[in-house]
Amino acid sequence: MKKILPILIAIILTSSPAFAKQNDGYLDEVILEESATISEPSDTPENTESDVPHEKTLREKLSDVYHLEVYKYDTPNFLLKDVLTKKFDEDSPLESLNLWAGYNGNIGVYMNEDASSNSQYDFNAINVGIDGKFKNNTADFRIMFQDSPYSSRNFVQSMFADMYIATNKIPHHRVMIGHTRPPVGMEGGYGPFVLPFIARSQISRNFGTIRKLGARIAGDYSFIDYDLGVYSSDTYFQEFFPGTEFIGWVNLKPLAKTGGKYGSLKIGGGLDAGNRSNSFCVAGAYIGYEYKRFMANFEWANADGYNGPSGFSTDKHASGFYATLGYMLTKKLQILARYDEFDPDKNIAHNNQREYSLGLNYFIKGQGLRLILNYVFCQNDAAKDSHRILVGTQILL
């Protein structure tokens, strides 16, 4: 009883209004201190580091490349882009610089109808470039060099490839000034690292796949895209402005708003016309369709003189066309077939050249790492028929 009595007295005193009022400030202070401790971040090094984005090490970036899975094959992807890109601070007018390199080559076996054969190694493209971007997307540029020896050009003429400055400031448009690859034909305007076969079609090899010095504007809208430019009619820095050349191409995309339900359809046409001692004109048309794993395209061109990579010709009236079918057997394996016909001079009878091609593409890392197998049967009206087996590879770094 003597022990219980002091306890009861203490309970009564602490529960009285006077005692509670006396300690209100103390209780509030404790609660506020606990709230402050929970809500305010600590200045310890551990918490400071967690707020800073983690910069990947070189080993981590290379590991990402090793585990990279790419299923898109209609655009080139460079495997070491993160490794070889330099980003600048806010004081610099440049946002980034990216160094890149690309290789595309093959080993070929060529067999004639007389049973003779020969093997040779070709590289279609060895390119090294630097891409730069300015802050706020005001402009970008490319300086690109290539190793593609050609008998009619010296080393310097063959070395310089893309060298231009461009801007995307105009909505839906891209303006480029400098040395670029204009769209002389649909396939003729493609870069070397997105071609379905090792070799381009015959109309592309004769009329297109060239680079010229000039200014161009490209527009891209839902139902239409276009590329229009004015250039010097010189090719590969062989002459100083021998004449003016207009090159334009327009594509219509009638299924653009269907969300891919019916596939993708592109219908296009273009013109390459100019003067280089004499006038020349190349007209072309294109139809391309893609649906899920299936693709097909057809391109035709007619030339009354042309100014292509093999040289300038005003006295030849040539024409040709090709049709290509492709199907993705898996997400990485593609099978292709192509029929390609070319008449190098319509004034001469029985001189057509036909190529029947079969191809396999294995996209290990998309276009960044690709293996290629082509078989080509060449049927010539004015020469012996021949067969070609080509095994190639493509690496983009």
pLDDT tens for each residue of 363-377: 999 999 999 999 999
Place of tokens 């602490």: 14
Residue 367 corresponds to which tokens in the numbers above?
Answer: 């276009």
In angstroms, the CA 118 to CA 110 distance is 5
* pLDDT of res. 58: 78
In angstroms, the CA 300 to CA 341 distance is 10
Q: Is the dihedral of CA 147, 152, 154, 160 positive or negative?
A: negative
In angstroms, the CA 178 to CA 164 distance is 4
pLDDT tens for each residue of 276-312: 888 999 999 999 999 999 999 999 999 999 998 876 7
* pLDDT of res. 60: 79
In angstroms, the CA 185 to CA 307 distance is 13
Q: Residue 125: what residue type?
A: A
At residue 123 the predicted structure's pLDDT band, cuts being 50, 70 and 90, is: low
CATH 1.10.357.10 fits 75-102+125-324, yes or no: no
CB-based contact 345:351 (threshold 8 Å) = yes
CB-based contact 22:13 (threshold 8 Å) = no
Q: Which parts of 190-277 are beta strand (E)?
A: 212-220, 224-232, 244-252, 264-276
pLDDT > 80? residue 13: no
Q: What's the chain's length in residues?
A: 397
* pLDDT of res. 246: 97
Q: Which residue has the higher pLDDT, 47 or 227?
A: 227
pLDDT > 60? residue 209: yes
In angstroms, the CA 144 to CA 177 distance is 15
* pLDDT of res. 146: 86
Residues 6+ apart with CB under 8 A from 134: 93, 94, 95, 140
Q: Which helix (H) or strand (E) holds 128?
A: strand 117-134
* pLDDT of res. 15: 39
Give me the residue spans of the domains in the chain.
Answer: 75-102+125-324
Find the mean pLDDT for residues 326-352: 94
In angstroms, the CA 81 to CA 98 distance is 7
At 255 the three-state DSSP class reads coil
Q: What are the beta bridge partners of residue 199?
A: none
How many H helices and E strands in the chain? 6, 17
In angstroms, the CA 385 to CA 375 distance is 14
* pLDDT of res. 69: 85
Find the mean pLDDT for residues 77-90: 92
pLDDT tens for each residue of 130-173: 999 999 888 999 999 987 655 566 767 778 889 999 999 999 99
What is the pTM assigned to this prediction? 0.82
* pLDDT of res. 33: 30
